Amino acid sequence: MRKITVPEIMETKTNGRKITLITCYDYTSATIVEKSDIEMILIGDSMGMTMLGYDGTVGVTVDDIIHHGKTVRRGAPTTFIIGDMPFGSYNISVEQGIASANRMFMEIGCDAIKLEGGKRSAAVIKGIVDAGIPVCGHIGLTPQTSSMMGGFKVQGKSMSAVELLLEDAKAIEAAGAFMVMVEGVPVSVTKYIRDNINIPIIGIGAGKECEAQALVMHDMLGYNEWVPKFAKKYASLGPQMLDAFNQYHKEVAEGTFPTPEYSYNAKVEGLDK
């Protein structure tokens, strides 16, 4: 499948096309996404939880994103890849943000980068766009600063909060971003923002009033029993893997694996008659 382009993503704002993004962090999974109809991959800093065993996204580094991102790019050469800028890689200065984005763009070979924050990140978004790198914004529930929000909580629950979210979305648009991720807000809030900006919204836990949808791979594949309310499980890999591991252990313990079918049975001169 041909890689979707930034203009084609932006055209979803008006042409009614709905597109899909999934997070991905490794080569083998990327080869499967590449074979699928999904248009976009995010090398998400959610790798902190899904791959690295952290209890949040803070702690993930640019080197982590690049290390995993390179494997994903090798597995998915024609999928549009967005590299997620981790906490600490763009909050010191515009120059620091551009330098981090340059590294991710060049070393992963990704097609765009994403970073969190509305008005507070507008200058760095503009700097990165002016440097020639497409940027996706991210507002609403922003995991990197979730401690300031009192945890992973639904955002935009009062009209004043909704107006601040809209100001953030407009600041991201004015800074030159091609798309904005909206996370963890009620459906009506997404629609309100969508009706008042000119770039597409990619929603995660933001309902269906979006041009694009995102899900974390480990949530939608059902690795863990608990997933957030918005994450539909399209598979139950966790229980299936556990069954497979225990079945393997049982067969080894019982001596029923490996059978001749799973062994090399060539006759060896001097050993076999």
- Site size toward ligand KIV (CB under 6 A) is 10
- Judged by CB under 6 A, the residue of 122, 135, 204, 206 near ligand KIV is 204
The helix/strand/coil state of 110 is: coil
In the complex, the smallest distance separating the C-beta of residue 210 from ligand KIV, rounded to whole angstroms, is 13
Distance between CA 10 and CA 24 in Å, rounded? 22
The whole-angstrom distance between residue 213's C-alpha and the CA centroid of its chain comes to 11
Contacts of 203 (CB under 8 A, 6+ apart): 181, 182, 183, 190, 209, 210, 212, 213, 214
Q: Are 142 and 99 in contact (CB under 8 A)?
A: no
Kindly tell me which residue out of 64, 111, 183, 211 binds ligand KIV, with binding defined by CB under 6 A: 183
Indicate if 183 belongs to the active site.
yes
Which of 46, 89, 190, 213 is close enough to bind ligand KIV by CB under 6 A? 46
- Among positions 99-128, residues that touch ligand KIV (CB under 6 A) are none
The structure tokens 């909704």 sit at: 162
- Region class of 70: left (phi > 0), else alpha (psi between -120 and 50), else beta: alpha
237: left (phi over 0), alpha (psi -120 to 50) or beta: alpha
Site pattern 16..45 for ligand KIV (x: CB under 6 A): -------x------------------x-xx
For residue 42, the minimal CB distance to ligand KIV (Å) is 5
What is the smallest separation between the CB atom of 254 and ligand KIV, expressed in angstroms?
41
Nearest residue (beta carbon) to ligand KIV: 44
- Restricted to residues 81-100, the positions that interact with ligand KIV (CB under 6 A) are 84
Give catalytic residue positions: 183
Interacting residues with ligand KIV (CB under 6 A): 23, 42, 44-46, 84, 183, 204, 214, 216
